[in-house]
Amino acid sequence: MEELPLSGIRVVDLTNVLAGPYCAYQLGLFGAEVVKVERPGRGDLARRLGADPELNAAGLGASFLAQNAGKKSVELDLKDPADRPAFEQLVKGADVLLENFRAGVLARIGYGWDRLRELNPRLVYCAISGFGQTGPMSAAPAYDQIIQGLSGMMSITGTKDTAPLRVGFPVCDTVGGLVAAVAITAALAGRGRTGRGCFLDLSMLEASMSAMGWPVSNYLVAGVEPEAMGDQNATAAPSGVFEASDGPVNIAANRQKQFEALCAVLARPDLVQDPRFADREARKRHRDALNEELNRVLRTRTAYEWEGLLSRAGVPAARILTVPQALALDQLRHRGFVTRLDFPDGSGRELGVVGNGVRIDGRPLRPASPPPLLGQHNDDHLLEDV
């Protein structure tokens, strides 16, 4: 198999739970060797998190299995003087050091950037934290939900009656991990020119607000405060969730041409001529009336039928699926999105893990091995191979 872009890069991963492990998982998919340093006897907290209590008790929680395939696990206690030389050997041979402790924790145990740079001037050190390493909130603890609330994200999720609502998955952890992976790859590219590493200080709050895009920029640029609009798209109409005969269907006729095509498929060309719906801004002002007219027709067919009819007419439309239904899509099967691995405990069970949607020269990115058992690679001479 051809080498992947990050082949030959070693990542020392000190992270726990999601943002950091997700970042390291992305780097591993692109070919990096990820050495996960875990607390002796306990490991990553995610080993005990997930929907299956038996797996949690075995240190193989679903939350851990989802983000750690392809990695190696060694047990080291950085506060134990006996383990510190081994950790320093790892740092000397690493390209990247990744951690998501509370701001300043690593420095307080003797491994601030000055010391790490002394051990390895080529090291790219990335610290993921809730608020960044500096500022009045830097020492505050933060989980995904805390960031969702502070970022304004929850205030615009739901309807006027139900907001604030939490997004249905840990989006701030995920975004933080993705931005960290981008920052690390950029730093590695820069190191290729200068020969020097650098310190990356990533704030999940800032990364999340950056990812929010239009709600933030509409306020900064136009002074318009965003509001919760439920399943409707604030930027266009008709765009949101509509009513098919068997349940909801997403339709996003954001452009004038798409609106006209939608009206043609629904046999309602009169709506195009209605002055209430003549252009985007008019349609946004009269959104409720327009949706009522459209739903009257949409209720006559199934969501699947409308998906086909509208998509063929160039109007973005699709059913609203459950997670199991989404995973069963032929499109994902065709793309090789899910990789099947042996369960790490040797039980013979099969483990499914997802990729990241990237193909390189036609090949999907896949982890090469199952998630590791705690300390599985303690005796693999990782500390000597520097």
Q: Is the dihedral of CA 82, 87, 90, 92 positive or negative?
A: negative
Is 139 found in the same domain as 49?
Answer: yes
> Is 75 inside any structural domain?
yes
Same structural domain for residues 134 and 182?
yes
Instruction: Quote the domain boundaries for residue 251.
Output: 239-321
In a domain, 129, yes or no: yes
Q: Which residue has the higher pLDDT, 346 or 35?
A: 35
- Beta-carbon contacts of residue 150 (< 8 Å; ≥ 6 apart): 205
* 273 Cβ neighbours under 8 A, 6+ residues apart: none
Do the domain assignments include residue 137? yes
- pLDDT for residue 384 is more than 90: no
95 contacts 83 by C-beta, under 8 angstroms: no
User: What are the tens digits of pLDDT across the range 53-64?
Assistant: 999 999 999 999
Chain segment 360-376, per-residue pLDDT in tens: 999 999 999 999 999 99
Residues 162 and 29 in one domain: yes
Which pLDDT score, from 0 to 100, does residue 348 have? 86
Pick from 151, 176, 187: which is nearest to 166 by CA?
151
Domain CATH code at residue 277: 3.30.1540.10
Predicted local confidence at residue 381, as pLDDT: 64
Q: Is residue 288 one of the residues assigned to a domain?
A: yes
Q: Which of 83, 173, 231, 342 is catalytic?
A: 173
Q: pLDDT, tens digit, for every residue of 228-277? A: 999 999 999 999 999 999 999 999 999 999 999 999 999 999 999 999 99
As for how many domains the chain has, the answer is 2
Q: Is residue 289 part of a domain?
A: yes
Same domain (yes/no): 171, 274: no
Query: Crossing angle for the helix pair 19-29 and 171-194, nearest 10 degrees?
Result: 50
Torsion of CA 63, 164, 230, 147, to 10 degrees: -40
Query: Which tops the pLDDT comparison, 60 or 347?
Result: 60
Give pLDDT, residue 383.
61
What CATH code is carried by the domain that includes residue 76? 3.40.50.10540
Known catalytic residue at 173: yes
Residue 23 near residue 177 (C-beta atoms within 8 A): yes
Same domain, 342 and 301: no
Tell me, what's the pLDDT at 386?
A: 42
Q: Give yes or no: residues 285 and 192 share one domain.
A: no
User: Is 157 domain-assigned?
Assistant: yes
Cβ(20)–Cβ(64) under 8 Å? Answer: no
pLDDT tens for each residue of 188-197: 999 999 999 9
Compute the C-alpha angle 175/176/177, nearest 5°.
Answer: 90
